């Protein structure tokens, strides 16, 4: 598969949020304002790129040569947790404005299933190094896209007469269902 | 603090009142992803409950030894270890289910439900109480997954647990076993739960619990 198709598939056709259900927690939790959705999306994309690089290196240079693939889950989640911590410290040191935008979202990213999901899918599908990186970028862009669309709709929803029992999580799920339906329209493109 | 709460309450609260999926919106990823058939939902629920119980046992037993600053990292390592056990077990004994659940088994590691219970409960309570709490939460989780799975399987494939119950006259709603069906079903279930809680509360004379 060409790299562009891989990117397009990860971002649109097999959108992480709307067709793999990865990263639903931030999708429901941080999608009330478009501005915070953009920041969260950027933070996730950034961490996804680094995760794609580091977990590929760990899997292929450490776990496979020493035949300890059984440690895959333990090592991946530890690496992701410490990576997020490192990224947070680095951003705080280097750029104060960037930290103010992304800072509060970074700790949440550790338990974002989209990050671990990305690492697992790369191993499962046996991607090469370049493919993993492109896949990570595409997944991040797709996540941002879904989050921003959702936030835009929810800003409008505040003014809409939502039935009483659907208010909050209920209507969010229904809207997500509609979005997933719309994204299914892309399925024939690959 | 917690000793004033009866053991029964500790166990029952997870099933409905503080149900992880319906009330706290935790563990949504697996609840939506694997419930296209009732059997998958049940297997995922059992695997998650196993990990939840074993991690709670371990963490409540070690709660006075884990340093406060690195507790989250410690919890994650313990959880990931038990997830590896569950994953290998399923791959060895139930290969079909293991294949259809795919990467969602390893993703139990980042199920907020499990980490949330460790941080909120097992790290502060004794082994017995933690196990009861986990068992209740696990049962609540299984309940939601199986109900979602049954609804989606009946409407989407006309069967329950793989047994066809609706005849040829029924045209399956393909959409129910596809991603949009998951979101729509859960949205409607949450609204129904809100409605039920609201009406039963007003019958009690307006007591807000």
Long-range contacts (CB closer than 8 Å, 24 or more residues apart) made by A119-125: A119/A51, A119/A52, A119/A55, A119/A76, A119/A80, A120/A72, A120/A76, A120/B103, A120/B106, A120/B107, A121/B103, A122/A52, A122/A55, A122/A56, A123/A55, A123/A59, A123/A72, A124/B102, A124/B103
CB within 8 Å of B120: residues ≥ 6 apart: none
Q: How confident is the model at residue B203 (pLDDT cuts 50, 70, 90)?
A: low
pLDDT confidence tier of residue B1, bands split at 50, 70 and 90: very low
Region B21-29 average pLDDT: 81
% of chain A at pLDDT higher than 70: 96
By mean pLDDT, which of A17-26, A47-56, B92-101, B186-195 is the weakest? A17-26
Mean pLDDT, all residues of chain A = 86
B88 touches chain A (CB under 8 A): yes
- When pLDDT is averaged across residues B36-65 and rounded to a whole number, the result is 92
Query: How far is A4 from chain B, CA to nearest CA, in Å?
Result: 24
- Residues B114-151, buried b or exposed e (16+ Cβ, 10 A)? bbbbbeebbbebeeebbbbbbbbbbbbbbbbbbbbbbb
pLDDT at A152: 92
Interface residue of B107, B175, B202 to substitute, partner A, most A CBs within 10 Å: B107
Across A93-97, B3-7, B87-91, B148-152, least confident range: B3-7
User: Taking a C-beta distance cutoff of 8 angstroms, is the pair B78, B179 a contact?
Assistant: no
Where do the H-state alpha helices sit in A59-168?
A: 72-94, 96-102, 106-109, 113-124, 129-157
User: A131 Cβ partners below 8 Å, 6+ apart?
Assistant: A3, A6, A122
Chain B contact present for A77, CB below 8 A: yes
Report pLDDT digits (tens) over B61-83.
998 888 887 888 888 889 999 99
Q: Is the pLDDT of residue B149 over 90?
A: yes
Give contacts of A166 with chain B, Cβ < 8 Å.
187, 190-191, 194
Report domain extents, chain B: 8-149
- For residue A117, list chain B residues with Cβ-Cβ distance below 8 A: 103, 107
**pLDDT computed for residue B164 by the predictor:** 82
For residue B206, name the pLDDT band (cuts at 50, 70, 90). Answer: very low
B174 touches chain A (CB under 8 A): no
Q: Are B122 and B130 in contact (CB under 8 A)?
A: yes
Q: What is the pLDDT of residue B28?
A: 84
Distance, CA of B202 to CA of B4 (rounded, Å): 27
Question: What is the average pLDDT across A127-149?
Answer: 93
What is the residue-averaged pLDDT of chain B?
Answer: 86
Chain A CB within 8 Å of residue B120 CB = no
The string of pLDDT tens digits covering residues A90-124 is 878 887 877 777 666 777 777 778 889 999 999 99
Higher per-residue confidence, A28 vs B95: B95
Instruction: Provide, as residue numbers in chain A, all residues whose Cβ is less than 8 Å from the Cβ of B178.
Output: 180, 184
- In this prediction, residue B4 carries a pLDDT of 63
Q: Residue B3's pLDDT is what?
A: 55
Residues 6 or more apart whose CB falls under 8 angstroms from that of B131 comprise B53, B56, B57, B60
Chain A residues with CB under 8 Å of B187 CB are 166, 169-174, 176-177
């Amino acid at each position: 598969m060409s790299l562009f198709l891989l990117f397009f598939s990860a971002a649109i056709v097999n959108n992480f949020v709307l067709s793999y259900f990865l990263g639903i927690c931030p999708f429901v939790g941080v999608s009330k304002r478009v501005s915070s959705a953009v920041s969260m999306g950027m933070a996730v994309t950034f961490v996804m790129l680094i995760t794609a690089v580091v977990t590929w290196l760990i899997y292929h240079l450490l776990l496979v040569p020493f035949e300890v693939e059984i440690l895959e889950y333990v090592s991946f989640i530890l690496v992701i947790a410490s990576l997020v911590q490192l990224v947070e410290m680095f951003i705080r040191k280097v750029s104060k404005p960037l930290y103010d935008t992304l800072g509060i979202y970074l700790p949440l990213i550790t338990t974002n299933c989209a990050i671990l999901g990305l690492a697992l899918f790369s191993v499962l599908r046996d991607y090469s190094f370049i493919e993993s990186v492109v896949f990570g970028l595409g997944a991040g862009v797709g996540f941002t896209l879904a989050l921003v669309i959702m936030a835009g709709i929810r800003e409008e929803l505040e003014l809409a007469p939502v039935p009483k029992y659907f208010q909050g999580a209920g209507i969010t799920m229904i809207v997500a269902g509609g979005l997933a339906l719309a994204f299914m329209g892309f399925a024939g493109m690959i | 603090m917690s000793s004033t709460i009866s053991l029964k309450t500790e166990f029952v609260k997870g099933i409905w009142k503080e149900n992880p999926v319906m009330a706290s919106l935790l563990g949504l990823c697996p609840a939506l992803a694997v419930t296209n058939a009732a059997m998958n939902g049940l297997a995922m629920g059992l695997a998650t409950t196993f990990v939840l119980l074993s991690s709670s046992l371990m963490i409540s037993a070690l709660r006075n030894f884990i340093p406060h600053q690195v507790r989250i990292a410690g919890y994650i390592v313990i959880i990931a270890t038990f997830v590896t056990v569950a994953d290998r077990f399923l791959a060895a004994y139930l290969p079909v289910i293991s294949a259809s659940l795919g990467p969602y088994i390893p993703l139990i590691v980042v199920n907020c439900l499990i980490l949330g219970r460790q941080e909120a409960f097992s790290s502060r309570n004794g082994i017995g109480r933690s196990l009861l709490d986990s068992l209740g939460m696990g049962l609540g989780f299984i309940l939601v997954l199986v109900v979602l799975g049954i609804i989606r399987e009946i409407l989407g494939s006309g069967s329950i647990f793989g047994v066809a119950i609706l005849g040829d006259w029924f045209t399956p709603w393909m959409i129910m076993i596809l991603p949009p069906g998951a979101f729509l079903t859960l949205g409607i279930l949450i609204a129904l739960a809100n409605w039920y809680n609201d009406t039963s509360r007003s019958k009690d004379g307006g007591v807000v619990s």
